[in-house]
Structure 1
Amino acid sequence: SVADVALKDARAELMLARFGALSVEGVDVAGLDQIAVQRIAVEALALLADVTPRPEASFQQMLALNRIDVTSLSIKEQNVAVIEAIDLDGMQLAALLDASGQMRWLSRLTAEEAASSVEAADEKQPAGGDEAEAATTENEAGEPAPFTFRVDKVAIVGDSWIVFDDASVKPPFHARLAPFALAIENLDSTQPDEPATLTLDTRLGKYTDFNLAGNLWLFQETLSSDISGSLTGLDLPTLSPYVVTYMGYDLRRGQLDNQIDLRIDKDVLDINNHLKISKLNIVEADPVKASEFSAGLAMPLDMALGLLKDGDGNIEFDMPVKGNLNAPEFSMSGVINLALGKALKMAAMNYVTSALQPLGTVMFVGKLLGKAMELRFKPLTFDAGSSEFNETGREYAEKIATMVIDRPELKLTFCGVANGQDEALVREAMLAEQPADASARQANGEESGAAPELDPELVKERTLDLARARSEALKSLFVDDKGIDAERLFSCRPMLDFEEASEPRVEISL
């Protein structure tokens, strides 16, 4: 056994590794090609620790382990290792990012290594013929057989936890995963097509459970996985620093559940998240970032959320995440941002399409970044000259009303429109109101054969009245018949549309 061993890097002021005790039991050596050890134990291990304790720091080392137990190790032919089990007991991992996004301790180590590399390069002399000759000799000797290993099980056990602090976002992010239990079985570098199995169970904070289980192919040239899991009860305000940074919105309230299917096929992501969000409340915190995110969404975020929130304030949708890990432009934050935008848009559009089938469709009108984007439904059409619903129109209006009842955050605008057919019928009605017999026209000083003249402005006003009556009829259906709050319904000025293909209608938009 060995006790109290430490390896320091004085220049970086880092304790690279330290352990309190190392013990080895049941050693059987049958030559250099056959070594067996029943048990190896390392106690009080620390990696990357401050040489001089910092009282102001919450953590003095990046990784600490109460104990490592290696059970039944055998080494054959100097390049084949087989281990029955490795247990990491009482793991304490502190992953701390500074304001620049660099990992504490690691950043100091890499900075020192970079400085050493520069010094070594300055001192290096040009290679001579002896070095070339040595290289030739080594190549002629041939390369040794590759090292292979098999580990039946690696497990993180006991009172283990992970702390993640990120000072690169505002406000700083803090998360604690405890207890943290991880097991990986069947690690075999000689069988790259056979998967290792993974199980993870942990808790984020006091109330959020997170678990994963499935298969990993770790020894192929590319990474593959087939893993499923769940995240339940995550308070969304804890993620607000990242959402503000990447999306421009502050999460004031909300809770998230997520069913995860994490599939990777030869470095290509094919992940699906089935998200359930409860009682979400957000506010815009960064208008520029919010506009950029909405550009990918193709509608303002509040519009999409209004379409998705049910009567209890809950949202449920799927969010696929796809991408190639080897693509030069790949970044996880960018991939997630894009995936979330597409998923929200798809979920909103699917809901509207399903709610209004087979009578309604939806389209976007206007400019998004200028906040003038509208989501407009298929217009509600009327018979020419009428403000009463026909059979198809009433069915469509009732479907929209049902959707508004189901989505209590939706607010609609109605715009009544009259066309050329409407104006012609208005003229006919106005003419019918004029004195019809010749004597009446003569009494008014008109010639007996002359057609009465109508005031163009009066015709226009009466035609606009018809358009207005259509939007009022729709609002009356929503408020009086369906009990929808009038404060959720808005009317715009009535319009005339004399295009040849135009229809008598009410335009409906969010």
Structure 2
Amino acid sequence: MRKGSLVLGSVLLVLVVLVAATPFIVRWQAETLLSEQFQVPASIADVVINPVDGLIAVKGVMAGDALALDEVRAELDIYSLLSDQIVVRRLLITGLKLSLDLQPDAVQVGKLRVPLQTDENAQADAEPSPGWYVEVLNLQDVLINAGYLRDPAQPDSHRQHQLSLQSLQLGRLNNDLSQQMPVSLTALIDGAEVGLDGSLQTVPSMHFEGRLQLAADVSEFADYLPLAIESRVSADQQIQLTLAGPQLDIQTEGQLTLVNNRVQLAELSPLLTGPLTLGSADWQGSVRLQLLADQLQSLALTGQLKTSDFAAMLTEPVTLSAMDYNGQVTLTNSGAENNLSVQGDLNLQKLTAGETGSAGSFSAKQLNIQIAGGQLLSVLVDHLMLTHLDLHIERQANGQWSGLPQSAAEISEADNQASATGSDSDADAPKADNLPVFAVDRLDIDGRVSFTDKSVRPVADIAFEDLVVAIERLERGATQSISIGARHHESSTSARVELTGEGNFLDQPANGELSLMLQQFELFEVSSYLGDGIKSGQLTLDTGVVITDDKIKAENRVRVKGLDIDSGLAKTANTSDLSISVALDLLKDGDDRIDLKVPIEADLQNFSVDTSHIVQTALGNAARKAAFAYAQYALQPFGSLMLLKNVAEAAAKPRFQPMVFTAGSTVPGDEVQAYADKLVQLMLDRPGLALTLCGVATGEDRQFLMDQAAELARSQAAPSDEQLSAQIASQQPASQQQPSQQEGAQDPPSAPDYDEALLDIAQARGTAVRALLLTGGIAEQRLYACRPTIATGDESPSVTIDL
């Protein structure tokens, strides 16, 4: 009996020693293994093993700087140790700190290298290991610092990220890892707050499906985005995440909110010269993101986006109070290019563009925009609407435009330069095949448009109120239907402009028909383009335009009433053509009315659509042609107006045909007298007309004096100076002789210098014609004299008559 007690006591003592020694043995073995694996000194503060309830606890694990662990606590099913599968009821890991480096084929933890792919042959030859199953895995206060090289060929592409797990709970883990595992996670990823609740599967690829809650600064992930984005994002969405090798596919459905947004979009479109900012953006819909080796492959958003306080920098700052977009936006990366596709319905509220203009709302139905490599490929819209437009276009004193898109202003400037230099615009013009496809099925605009031109004096200000624009099929290759109407006077409802028509106006060459009606247009508003002197008058214009292969033919009926012109100001205008104000003054009747029909032909490529050209072409050409025709009729058979280029002054002066005199004579002949009668009647019919009379002596007069002097020399001794002057004076009527000729002639020039005598002849001719007009009843203040001249060309002796 005593012997048996001793044996039992010895066995119990051995068991106690073994149980007590096991933690020390495990701790020693674990420290040795960690030191060998990490190749640094390793330590474990404590190991607790309780074989009764299956509790195993390891505390205070350290392996250099690569690994630190507060505690690992496992609750084993003791009976499972006797089976082929070890069961852990609960595994708790707290205070884990791990630094690792992700490599293409392995994970490096300190000096421990863990291959990501195992040798299939070695795995097949290995002895089957016991299975394991963890009912619940719980990680708390885990900090993982992960670094990796984005591009092995670029050492400076190394990136560092930090994962801070506040809580991670996984269920139903086993050595197969192919079963779905419930997962719940709360973590910080580089400062981004992430919450996941769903199911996870890791074999054959990692797949997560569940709920995602996110709050993050987008700028922290700028390296993974093709655009520079600053934003604070929050999301509550259902998510599906699949990681298969280097391919990451993320799909979400739900709500996404962004605040304090700032996006650089210059790489996508050259029109954007500055950042795009948003006060807030709310997205409701789906998002799909695809990454390949952490490079963006595609980003697709389908749903509804609502934003507030939008601002972007184009040629001028653009702002809007709210935006509502319902559709799809797709961003793809194909090699070195970023491609953007936008398809959906867009609505903008309270749109402003710098100081140029504003609109109450802008909407685009079935919008389709395609951009590739920063180049706009196409813009397709089913219905474009712009309401409560208030647009102001301004031309500066230097000719620069404001209020137009940059491209339009550049085109206008290029057209002006081409017209000035006479260059061939077709050679430099972009081909239609290279232009973006632009198509709007219907365009509707209402509002107000005003125009200020500071390049003329006085400054021109024109406004069109109650503007209504309706255009259908706005695209190349289609027939456009155009209807434009506006009121061009604030206080009059009948002062309107209407433009209607159909044609292929966007094609090359263009073809179509237009009808323009302008009612009760106040001429003083465009007096800067008509020449000085217009004080008042109302214009009514009816124009029918036919465009055939870029050639314009227009039939114009121009009616002006209440025309009042200051002839003194009109006379001082210095233009390269007949002043329109002078032409109108010539055309008005005794009731200050004008009614004329004149056709216009022009080349569409050289027809600038601006206020100056419209006025100069529609009214100016009509008035000038009618003025020439009228003068030719009124002065038959003595000629009409002509334009004589004065090279010295580099300006063209409108003139009537000159009155021709006989060489050496200052006495008006019968033709001059008849011509003067016609001029008198013309000036009586047109009371606003004023004339300048200039006597001209020519080489024929000089030759006359020389021949006369030679004849006198042959018949007698050379005449004295007094005799020569007396002979010249004897050819003039006594009433037209100058005081010097009546009271005592001055010495004539000695041969061959007859300039002084020639100037006397020229002045006497002008005085003679002036006397004829005064005798006919023309007021003296309507007749102006000028300095007599000696012409050196082939002109005839005459008196010129300038308007």
Question: Contact 2:556–2:622 (CA<8 Å) still a contact in 1?
Answer: no
Between 1 and 2, higher relative CO (CA 8 Å, sep ≥ 6) is seen in 1
Superposed CA offset, 1:438-473 (max 9, x none): xxxxxxxxxxxx99x993322121113379388777
Once the two structures are TM-superposed, the CA of residue 211 in structure 1 deviates from its matched residue by 1.0
2:466 to 179, 196, 208: 179
1:259 to 537, 542, 553: 542
How many residues matched? 387
Question: Contact 2:310–2:321 (CA<8 Å) still a contact in 1?
Answer: no
Superposed CA offset, 1:460-507 (max 9, x none): 211133793887776565444x4322332356799999x99978x766
Check 1:190–1:476 CA distance in 2 against 1; reply closer, same or farther (3 A cut).
Answer: closer
Once the two structures are TM-superposed, the CA of residue 226 in structure 1 deviates from its matched residue by 0.8
Matched, 1:468 2:736: yes
Normalized per residue, the structure richer in helix is 1
- Which secondary structure does the structure 1 equivalent of 2:730 belong to? helix
Distance 2:678 2:594 in 1: 20
- Which secondary structure does the structure 2 equivalent of 1:400 belong to? helix
Once the two structures are TM-superposed, the CA of residue 362 in structure 1 deviates from its matched residue by 5.0
Distance 2:568 2:733 in 1: 40
Once the two structures are TM-superposed, the CA of residue 374 in structure 1 deviates from its matched residue by 6.9
1:349 is aligned with what amino acid? Answer: F
Give unmatched runs, 5+ long, in structure 2: 1-302, 327-344, 367-379, 410-436, 710-715, 738-764
Question: Contact 2:384–2:443 (CA<8 Å) still a contact in 1?
Answer: yes
2:349 to 17, 37, 46: 46
2:218 corresponding residue in structure 1: none
Question: Contact 2:350–2:361 (CA<8 Å) still a contact in 1?
Answer: yes
1:102 corresponding residue in structure 2: 402
Question: Contact 1:15–1:48 (CA<8 Å) still a contact in 2?
Answer: yes
**Seq. identity, %:** 19
Distance 1:19 1:282 in 2: 57
2:675 corresponding residue in structure 1: 396
1:410 corresponding residue in structure 2: 690
Check 1:489–1:178 CA distance in 2 against 1; reply closer, same or farther (3 A cut).
Answer: closer
Matched, 1:201 2:485: yes
Instruction: Give matches, 1:111-126, under 5 Å.
Output: none
2:564 corresponding residue in structure 1: 279
Distance 1:493 1:14 in 2: 60
Matched, 1:359 2:638: yes
Once the two structures are TM-superposed, the CA of residue 416 in structure 1 deviates from its matched residue by 9.6
Distance 1:346 1:414 in 2: 25
Distance 2:567 2:309 in 1: 49
Superposed CA offset, 1:293-317 (max 9, x none): x22x1x5677555544444445566
2:731 is aligned with what amino acid? Answer: T
- Which secondary structure does the structure 2 equivalent of 1:464 belong to? coil
Distance 1:281 1:360 in 2: 26
Once the two structures are TM-superposed, the CA of residue 355 in structure 1 deviates from its matched residue by 1.5
Question: Contact 2:308–2:323 (CA<8 Å) still a contact in 1?
Answer: no
Instruction: Give matches, 1:224-235, under 5 Å.
Output: 224-235=511-522
Check 1:280–1:209 CA distance in 2 against 1; reply closer, same or farther (3 A cut).
Answer: farther
Question: Contact 2:499–2:515 (CA<8 Å) still a contact in 1?
Answer: yes
Check 1:304–1:368 CA distance in 2 against 1; reply closer, same or farther (3 A cut).
Answer: farther
Distance 2:356 2:402 in 1: 17
1:62 to 351, 354, 359: 359
Check 1:49–1:6 CA distance in 2 against 1; reply closer, same or farther (3 A cut).
Answer: farther
Check 1:313–1:422 CA distance in 2 against 1; reply closer, same or farther (3 A cut).
Answer: farther
1:359 is aligned with what amino acid? Answer: F
Question: Contact 2:690–2:783 (CA<8 Å) still a contact in 1?
Answer: no
The higher radius of gyration belongs to 2
CA RMSD for the aligned pairs?
5.9
Check 1:315–1:466 CA distance in 2 against 1; reply closer, same or farther (3 A cut).
Answer: farther
1:138 corresponding residue in structure 2: none
Give unmatched runs, 5+ long, in structure 1: 23-41, 71-80, 111-146, 428-449
- Which secondary structure does the structure 2 equivalent of 1:484 belong to? coil
Normalized per residue, the structure richer in strand is 2
Distance 2:514 2:652 in 1: 42
- Which secondary structure does the structure 1 equivalent of 2:733 belong to? helix
Check 1:396–1:500 CA distance in 2 against 1; reply closer, same or farther (3 A cut).
Answer: same
Once the two structures are TM-superposed, the CA of residue 93 in structure 1 deviates from its matched residue by 1.0
Once the two structures are TM-superposed, the CA of residue 181 in structure 1 deviates from its matched residue by 3.4
1:353 is aligned with what amino acid? Answer: Q
Check 1:284–1:48 CA distance in 2 against 1; reply closer, same or farther (3 A cut).
Answer: farther
Scaled by the length of structure 2, what TM-score is found?
0.37
Scaled by the length of structure 1, what TM-score is found?
0.54
2:783 corresponding residue in structure 1: 489
Check 1:166–1:62 CA distance in 2 against 1; reply closer, same or farther (3 A cut).
Answer: farther
- Which secondary structure does the structure 1 equivalent of 2:391 belong to? strand
Instruction: Give matches, 1:430-509, under 5 Å.
Output: 455-465=723-733, 468=736, 478-480=773-775, 482-489=776-783, 508-509=801-802
Check 1:266–1:388 CA distance in 2 against 1; reply closer, same or farther (3 A cut).
Answer: closer
Distance 1:149 1:178 in 2: 27
Distance 1:237 1:389 in 2: 43
- Which secondary structure does the structure 1 equivalent of 2:649 belong to? coil
Distance 2:521 2:513 in 1: 24
Distance 1:103 1:507 in 2: 47
Distance 2:789 2:733 in 1: 10
Once the two structures are TM-superposed, the CA of residue 389 in structure 1 deviates from its matched residue by 6.1
Distance 2:569 2:534 in 1: 9
Question: Contact 1:201–1:210 (CA<8 Å) still a contact in 2?
Answer: yes
- Which secondary structure does the structure 2 equivalent of 1:463 belong to? coil
Check 1:456–1:18 CA distance in 2 against 1; reply closer, same or farther (3 A cut).
Answer: same
- Which secondary structure does the structure 2 equivalent of 1:359 belong to? coil
Distance 1:393 1:352 in 2: 17
